[in-house]
Amino acid sequence: MAIGIRKGETMNGAWNLIRQRETLAGNPGRIRAGDSPEALQRLVALRGANLAERIGVVFKKIEGGNFVYQGQPAQVETFEAAETTFTIGMMKNLLFLKEKEVREIFRDKDWSIEKIMIESLDKVADNVPKSERDNCPLLYVNKNEAEAIARLLGSDLLTEKQWERAASGTDGKMRPWGNDLDQTKAVYNDSGTRPVKSKPAGVSAEGLYELIGNVWEWTKESVLRGGSWYYIFPGYLQADCRDDYPPGYRDSDAGFRLARTFIG
């Protein structure tokens, strides 16, 4: 039975019902004649409280207060951060729901959103099953595009202070789990990206995955943090490492993570 279609309900009847629901939700025309039953199922499955949740983003609360930033005492307000970096699958879902808005963001003629997704899939490690490839990070997005996607989703990028607080805790650890480094906890010195949450031993105390390794993450200050699948040297794979680039820079190991203000 298709999602959202009750027993005994015809497909045409279901289409009409979903069209009515989408019109009431402010999305007239989102369901079009000729759309497949799979598209119907996907849309219904994505319905949620807000757009970020509909495409699969889960936020975790990070308590504010005192912490260690770049070896010095610092403070940060309580905030929320996405539990994973933004994935290829999330972008597919967003493109399905907000195609016009997404295409307005990716206007670089040499880097369409289709090319970005194809190139991101090409950088997935060879032995990742096909069924898991969409769960790998979206790559080749520059900082300006990442910020625009965040705004579309009612969120933002992490600031450097927020990112380091999430990655090092309150006591200035080198990594979310402590000071050691091994491949059971992070994706590095690898042949490509891995699905998010593939290294649960490296999860932070607040439930954030792959803060170290897999992909560098853009911050508000145009600084990349966290290291990536490509790196071997441990110094690049720790919470205090900073690598600044112009906002138009894009690469095969750079992605982003969403954040938003915590409203208690």
Buried b (16+ CB within 10 A) or exposed e, 146-168: bbbbbebbebbbbbbbbbbbbbb
**Which are the contacts of 238, defined by CB distance < 8 A and separation ≥ 6?**
174, 175, 181, 212, 227
**Which are the contacts of 221, defined by CB distance < 8 A and separation ≥ 6?**
159, 160, 244
- Domains along the chain with CATH numbers: 11-47 (no CATH), 53-261 (3.90.1580.10)
Mean per-residue pLDDT of the chain? 88
> What confidence tens digit (pLDDT) does each residue in 126-176 have?
999 999 999 999 999 999 999 999 999 999 999 999 999 999 999 999 999
> What confidence tens digit (pLDDT) does each residue in 240-259 have?
999 999 999 999 999 999 99
Summarize the confidence of residues 62-81 as an average pLDDT.
Answer: 98
Angle at 155 between CA 140 and CA 91, to 5 degrees: 40
Q: Above pLDDT 70, what percent of the chain?
A: 81
Residue 29 identity (one-letter amino acid): G
Alpha-carbon distance values, 197 to 19, 83, 134, 193, 207 (Å): 35, 9, 13, 12, 10
With beta carbons less than 8 A apart as the criterion, state whether 48 and 56 touch.
Answer: no
110: three-class secondary structure by DSSP: coil
State the greatest distance between any 2 C-alpha atoms of the chain, in Å, as a whole number.
65
